[in-house]
Amino acid sequence: MSTETVADQRVVEAAVDAARTAAGWWAGLGWDGRRRALLAWKRTLTTRVEELAGQIREETGKPHGDAVLEVMLAVEHLDWAARHARGVLRRRRVPSGLLAANQAASVGYEPLGVIGVIGPWNYPVYTPLGSISYALAAGNAVVFKPSEHTPGVGRWLADRWAEAVPGPAVLQAVTGGGEAGAALCRAGVDKIAFTGSTATGRKVMAACAETLTPVVVEAGGKDALIVAADADLDAAARAAAFGSFGNAGQTCAGVERVYVEQAAYEPFLERLAELARATTPGEAPDARYGRMTTPTQAAIVAEHIGDALAKGGRAVVGGPDAVRPPFVDPVVLAEVPEDSLAVTEETFGPTVVVNPVRDLDEAVARANASRYGLAASVFTGSRRTAVEVAERLRAGAVSVNAVLGFAAVPSLPFGGVGDSGFGRIHGADGLREFSRAKSVTRQRFAAPIDLLRLDRQPAALHRAARLFQLRHGRG
């Protein structure tokens, strides 16, 4: 925990009040003014990337390169949101249909007002900015509650905003633990964008239910990677290693389970094991990955490894001894029963379960058996197989012959299924998530058959009913 101040209910409410005032000013800037402001903030994040990466590294323990990459990805999204908000959200004409041919119809998207963003610690810039950038670009003010493990990053982002965009407090950070997050849920915001564990997501929803405050929940995952027999096994193993061990496995859409078609199982496992053995975590800025960010996470990882082995799984690389807090060495577990914690629960550590499957049908069935559904990957040499498998996977995003392929594509929406949450950030859907659709019709001329009047004529209704039968009775 840092020396950051802890925001209580009163402080959070004051921030939301200030944001409410700022929201009016921000909305009044219009599309162009907001785009200019967002791009000014973007330039600050870009030119001061080293400083921000240093702050990320200090609070999370991740290697320098990972911290820089995280900022680069976040900035890519910020740029996209700033440049596309107008095109996605501005009022546009829509067809008014036969029945209302006399009406000109249009839909436009208005900001909601003040968005409360509650973020996790694992990607303290990329993840919350996935909500913050899109919420701001849609015309809202934001009050951001970073994780208590990364308050400095949250504060840094808000301070840089204040410098880049002088004026009312359009983006503020309030720091503190879960209580500050709970206070934000009850502070009268117009929507909460929560990213964190499924368990906390439930608490956030319950708190928001009291005031009918809408929520978007970006929660955990237990993502599967499927390896077909015709896949490039070296590429698949490298991607699995990166997806499982990168960022010490503390990636919501990291790889936690791998299902490999029988014919490729042994060679794949061997290659992955080789890569795992060559990987060591450490404190050095150029380490492959760093420490577990929170003190409690190592114990969860140890529990999952122990349970997998007790249930009959095999430790191919590492095992219980791999957990030497604050570090955890890479662990490859094989033939782990599907009811083990390492298969059913989010481990959030540098461990991976590799299980053989008869065929791709079984792989898809096992991948989909999880109550989570954030992302998934498939490796295959066949484009057709890739498309088929991708369509059958129950997940918010699927990467083919890669892991996390969507992360750097800002036009793609991101979000989960089931216990991984609901709602979408990123892309056009992400902009709409922080907007309210408003429909407008303008009567251009009186309807030839006017039914919307108190003195409606029976003959008019009769004519309309006949047309209705003709139009919908057969087609």
Catalytic sites, residue numbers: 218, 252
Least distance in Å: CB of 75 to ligand NDP?
17
Identify the residue among 119, 124, 249, 313 touching ligand NDP (CB under 6 A): 119
Q: Which one of residues 61, 113, 120, 313 is an interface residue with ligand NDP (CB under 6 A)?
A: 120
CB-wise, 221 or 356, nearer to ligand NDP? 221
* Residue whose beta carbon is closest to ligand NDP: 181
Cα(169)–Cα(152) distance, integer angstroms: 18
CB 140 within 8 A of CB 190: yes
Residues 360-389 that bind ligand NDP (CB under 6 A): 374
Tell me if 221 contacts ligand NDP by CB under 6 A.
Answer: yes
Q: Where are the alpha helices (DSSP H) in 249-350?
A: 262-277, 297-310, 341-344
Report the relative pairing of strands 114-118 and 191-195 from DSSP bridges: parallel
Among 44, 60, 147, 244, binds ligand NDP (CB under 6 A): 147
Binding status of residue 252 toward ligand NDP by CB under 6 A: yes
Judged by beta carbon, residue 269 or residue 425, the one nearer ligand NDP is 425
When the beta carbons of 264 and 395 are compared against ligand NDP, the nearer one is: 395
Q: Which of residues 319-358 bind ligand NDP (CB under 6 A)?
A: 346, 348
Paired tokens of 373: 């559904």
Near ligand NDP by CB under 6 A: residue from 59, 70, 148, 433: 148
Q: Closest approach of Cβ 198 to ligand NDP, in Å?
A: 7
Nearer to ligand NDP, 221 or 430 (CB): 221
Nearest distance in Å: CB 444, ligand NDP: 45
Q: How far apart are CA 74 and CA 361, in angstroms?
A: 36
Please give the structure tokens belonging to residue 209: 């239910």
For residue 179, the minimal CB distance to ligand NDP (Å) is 7
Nearest approach, Cβ of residue 219 and ligand NDP (Å): 6
Q: Which of the residues 405 through 434 are near ligand NDP (CB under 6 A)? A: 416, 421
Nearer to ligand NDP, 44 or 294 (CB): 294
* Joined tokens for residue 21: 């005032």
Cα separation of 155 and 274, whole Å?
41
What single-letter DSSP state applies at residue 320? G
Question: CA distances (Å), 360 to each of 147, 300, 376, in order?
Answer: 39, 31, 14
- C-beta contacts of 413-418 below 8 A and 24+ residues apart: 414/130, 414/218, 415/216, 415/218, 416/217, 416/218, 416/219, 416/221, 416/372, 416/373, 416/374, 417/372, 417/373, 417/374, 418/370, 418/371, 418/372, 418/373, 418/394
Nearer to ligand NDP, 140 or 247 (CB): 247
Give the tokens for residue 317: 């690389």
Strands 331-334 and 191-195: unpaired
Give the separation between CA 312 and CA 97, rounded to whole angstroms: 62
**Gyration radius of the chain over CA positions:** 25
190 counts as binding ligand NDP under rule CB under 6 A: no
Minimum distance between the CB of residue 188 and ligand NDP, rounded to whole angstroms? 15
Q: Is 153 in the site for ligand NDP (CB under 6 A)?
A: no
Q: Is 203 a binder of ligand NDP (CB under 6 A)?
A: yes
Q: Which residues pair with 142 in a beta bridge?
A: 115, 171
| Strand-pair category, 215-218 with 191-195 | parallel
Residues 6+ apart with CB under 8 A from 321: none
Q: Does 200 bind ligand NDP (CB under 6 A)?
A: yes
Question: Does position 281 bind ligand NDP by CB under 6 A?
Answer: no
From 53-61, 159-167, 195-203, 437-445, span contacting ligand NDP (CB under 6 A): 195-203
Nearest approach, Cβ of residue 9 and ligand NDP (Å): 12
Residue among 60, 122, 140, 172 that touches ligand NDP (CB under 6 A): 122
Complex with ligand NDP: residue 2 or 382, whichever CB lies closer? 2
Q: Which is nearer to ligand NDP, 219 or 315 (CB)?
A: 219
Strand, helix or coil for residue 184: helix
Position 121 contacts ligand NDP (CB under 6 A): yes
Side chain identity at 216, as an amino acid letter?
A: V
- Check if the beta carbon of residue 416 is closer than 8 Å to that of residue 374: yes
Binding site for ligand NDP (CB under 6 A): 118-123, 127, 145, 147-149, 177-178, 181-182, 185, 195-197, 200, 203-204, 218-221, 252, 346, 348, 374, 416, 421
